[in-house]
Amino acid sequence: MNKFLSAALLATLTAAPAFAGGTHGGGHHDEMEVGKPGEAAHADREIAVTMKETDDGEMIFEPSSFSFTKGETVKFVITNAGELEHEFVLDTPERNVHHKELMAKMDMEHDDPNSVRLDPGAAGEIVWTFSNPGTFEFACLIPGHYESGMSGPVAVLEAGGTFTAGTVKKVDPKSGKVTIKHEELVDLEMPAMTMVFRVADDAMLDQLKAGENIEFVAERVKGKLTLIALK
């Protein structure tokens, strides 16, 4: 291993000291910041994920974002509908960046419980328990793929996050944005006003209709105000 790689690897390991043991540690075996492997029999939801290339040269995940509640166990059923190899990796954005830099130096094939790598046409599963609140990321770290669009946010909401009342003014499915006239957003320290939000999960757009009264939780995801929970 050359010097650059050692330094990069060290950076990866020290990025999350509490979890540096990774899959090789004892005790808290596979626990990571993003969560831990779950049991399929105890999955709270099952989500189909598709990975593919588009005609205009992008590489995408469908859906393009997720929102969960702390403690939720999710069974991801992942299909590679593209013509290239792809992978699905759950981690923190910081660790994905470091990992991606390593991948650019040598092609590592992951075999950790938080990731699955699939040949074209293949399908696989990850069962994952989101045990910590925060903003995480799913990504394909094969060189060039992340830059071509293969990443998305995973918002894990602290159970009992503050819901705020509001009225939907406008829904724009094309841009994935919704305009809401809302009460004070306590967690974000924002007074009542009308604002435009992104949605953490595209499926939320189907539940939002202009004129409806809703209760929602908003958070900053990648610097943008984002609806992460809805009722």
Burial class (CB in 10 A: 0-12, 13-18, 19+), 81: middle
Number of residues that this document lists for the chain: 231
Q: Does 155 bind Cu ion (CB under 5 A)?
A: no
Q: Does 140 bind Cu ion (CB under 5 A)?
A: yes
Q: Does 98 bind Cu ion (CB under 5 A)?
A: no
- What's the distance, Cα to Cα, between the start and end of the chain in Å? 52
Dig out the tokens for 134 from the structure: 């925060």
How far is 122 from 69, CA to CA, in rounded Å?
A: 29
x/- contact string, 12-51, with Cu ion (CB under 5 A)? ----------------------------------------
Residue 71: count other Cβ atoms within 10 Å of its Cβ: 15
- Rounded to a whole number of angstroms, the minimum distance from the CB of residue 216 to Cu ion is 32
| Amino acid letter for position 145 | H
Interface with Cu ion (CB under 5 A), residue from 142, 154, 168, 171? 142
Q: Does 229 bind Cu ion (CB under 5 A)?
A: no
Nearer to Cu ion, 86 or 198 (CB): 86
How far is 98 from 42, CA to CA, in rounded Å?
A: 32
Interface with Cu ion (CB under 5 A), residue from 52, 75, 86, 99? 86
- Rounded to a whole number of angstroms, the minimum distance from the CB of residue 99 to Cu ion is 13
Window contacting Cu ion (CB under 5 A); options: 17-25, 62-70, 82-90, 102-110? 82-90
Nearer to Cu ion, 31 or 53 (CB): 53
Q: Are 19 and 33 in contact (CB under 8 A)?
A: yes
- Rounded to a whole number of angstroms, the minimum distance from the CB of residue 119 to Cu ion is 12
Q: Are 114 and 16 in contact (CB under 8 A)?
A: no
What residue ranges bind Cu ion (CB under 5 A)? 86, 140, 142, 145, 150
